[in-house]
Amino acid sequence: MSLPKFVVGMLFVIACVSVWSYLDSASAGTVILRMIACAVILQVGYFLVVFAMVAMSAPKSGESAKLRAKNSPSAKADELTTKGT
**CB of 23 closer than 8 Å to CB of 52:** no
Could you give the CA distance from residue 34 to residue 32 in angstroms, rounded to a whole number?
Answer: 5
**CB of 42 closer than 8 Å to CB of 10:** yes
Could you give the CA distance from residue 5 to residue 20 in angstroms, rounded to a whole number?
Answer: 22
Tell me which range, 4-8, 44-48, 60-64, 70-74, is most confidently predicted by mean pLDDT. 44-48
**CB of 25 closer than 8 Å to CB of 42:** no
Q: Phi/psi class of residue 25: alpha, beta or left (left: φ > 0; alpha: ψ in -120 to 50)?
A: left
Report pLDDT for 60.
67
pTM greater than 0.85 (yes/no):
no
Report pLDDT for 58.
72
